[in-house]
Chain A
Amino acid sequence: AQSVTQLGSHVSVSEGALVLLRCNYSSSVPPYLFWYVQYPNQGLQLLLKYTSAATLVKGINGFEAEFKKSETSFHLTKPSAHMSDAAEYFCAVMGDTGRRALTFGSGTRLQVQP
């Protein structure tokens, strides 16, 4: 079964600092990978997705992620954190067969300090 592991349940950065949220996947075949953001008491918003077209994926709000097969990683980065980036971030994987549902990681809460 496909799965993702998010390292670090909480990450705190200063405003303007680099954001790095880690995600490693476990899949026997090339996966579809996603990053979602969730604000308190809200649903999920898609930040970006990897579908094998390009290893470096650019998303919304200045976020990007790089697919590294050798490291089975799909880390999320943003060069300069903004206060509004404070939220919960989920990495997710989708299989290419069957029901093709999303399987989520445990989430990382990003805090941005002024």
Chain B
Amino acid sequence: GAVVSQHPSWVICKSGTSVKIECRSLDFQATTMFWYRQFPKQSLMLMATSNEGSKATYEQGVEKDKFLINHASLTLSTLTVTSAHPEDSSFYICSARDRKSSGANVLTFGAGSRLTVL
């Protein structure tokens, strides 16, 4: 079945530094990838939608200059948290939609990346 690899699974960084999280579709091409954020004991909140070769669409309240999303190929999307601060500490999860079944309604999720900013 479809597999999405997300890396790193854990990252700790100092305040003010930038962190990049990768999301790869291993056995399919993803036309669309979604980035979610999950605070402890809370639900997943959609941050942005990225389509290959175009700019990401951000949800209201999400700073696009802080959370840089790049979807340069059909198998890779990256989320860069720039100038990270402790309040950016969270669990970030990506999901992808298979290009071959673009009309389908099933998304495959990565295992998530836990970011801790000191």
Binding site for B on A (CB under 8 A): 32, 36, 41-46, 49, 51, 90, 94, 96, 99-107
Contact = CB atoms under 8 A, between A and B. Distances in A.
Interface stretch (B39-47, B61-69, B70-78, B80-88): B39-47
A51 B66 CA distance: 36
A44 B93 contact: yes
Contacts, number: 50
Interface residues of B, number: 23
B42 A106 contact: yes
B17 interface: no
B35 to A, nearest CB: 10
A51 B98 CA distance: 17
A99 B93 contact: no
Nearest to A49: B106
